[in-house]
Structure 1
C-alpha cells in the first residue's frame, strides 16, 4: 500500500448492484471516520456500460441513509491496475478474471471482499436476479466486507 491516500476499486459483474453499493458504503464509512480514501467501481463485463446503479440497490442504500455517488457503469481498464492499490472483487470468479487481465506484477492487488470479513463466507451473491430480500442480504454482506476493509486501511495507515 502506498503512503498517500489509498485507492480502492470495487468490481462486480455489471457494475450496477454490488460494486456501486460497496463504493457508496466505503465513501460513507470513511467520511464518518475522517479517513481519506479514493474509491471507484467497475465491471468485469461491458453489458451494462453507461447504465446507472440498479434502482433496487439505490433504494436499499437510501433506506439505510446512504446516498449512491453519481455513477455510470464501466468495465475495468488496464490503467485501473496502475491507479488503484486494491481491486476488490465480489466473487472468486471476479478475482480470477481480474488476475487474468492484470499486467505483470499487478495480480497481487486483486482481493476478494470476504478476505476483509470472513463472516461473509466467500462470494457476495448477485442480487440482480432476486427480489427485494436479495438486495438486503447483498447489502448486509457488502457492509461487513467494507467495514473490515476500512479497518485494514486504517491499520495500514497507522
Structure 2
C-alpha cells in the first residue's frame, strides 16, 4: 500500500487543522500515511497552535506543540491525495484555489469521514469546552478515516 498524503485545512491553521493533524498522526502509527495541516489565511504563519488546542491534545496524550502554522500553497493540491476542509467556507476557498484536475481531492471532513454534512466549528472565540467538543468530533472522524486508509491507498 502506498502512503496516503492527507492535508487538513481550516482558516488560520492554529485550532482545528493542527488538532486534526495531531490526532491522525497519533491514530495512524503503523499505517503508511503522511499528514500535514494548513490554513486558507496567512495570519498565523509560523505560529504555534492555539494554547487551547495544545492543551486539549495533551490531555489526550497527543503533542502538537511542535507544529507551526502555514498557509496552503499551490503545490499542496498536487502533493496531497486528500485535502479536508474543516468547514464549508474553507471548502469553498479551496475549490476556488484548486486547479480543475485536483478538485476531486477536496472534501468536507465530516462529510467524507462520517457521512454527515456538518462543519467542524471554529472554537477560537469560545472557551476550552469548545476545543474539547472539536477534539471529540475530529477524533471520531479520524478514527473512521483510519479504517478507510487501505481502500484509499490502493
Q: Is the 8 A contact 1:24 1:69 kept in 2?
A: no
Q: Which residue of 1 aligns with 2:114?
A: 117
1:99 pairs, out of 73, 95, 110, with 95
Deviation at 1:155, TM superposition (A): 3.0
Alignment of 1:1-158 (within 5 A): 4-31=2-29, 34-68=30-64, 70-114=66-110, 115-118=112-115, 122-157=118-153
Measured on the aligned residues, the alpha-carbon RMSD in Å equals 1.4
Unaligned runs of 5+ in 1: none
Deviation at 1:145, TM superposition (A): 1.1
Q: Is the 8 A contact 1:113 1:146 kept in 2?
A: no
Hey, what's the Cα distance between the residues in 1 that align with 2:78 and 2:131? 31
Structure 2 length as normaliser, TM-score?
A: 0.94
For 1:4-55, what per-residue CA distance to the aligned partner results, in whole angstroms no more than 9, with x for missing partners? Answer: 2110000000000100000000100001xx2120000000111111111011
Count of residue pairs brought into register by the alignment: 153
Q: Is the 8 A contact 2:48 2:65 kept in 1?
A: no
SS at match of 2:101: coil
Deviation at 1:71, TM superposition (A): 1.4
For 1:92-138, what per-residue CA distance to the aligned partner results, in whole angstroms no more than 9, with x for missing partners? Answer: 1111110110012111100111120136x500000111001000001
Deviation at 1:82, TM superposition (A): 0.8
Hey, what's the Cα distance between the residues in 2 that align with 1:139 and 1:75? 22
Deviation at 1:154, TM superposition (A): 2.6
Structure 1 length as normaliser, TM-score?
A: 0.92
Q: Is the 8 A contact 2:49 2:65 kept in 1?
A: no
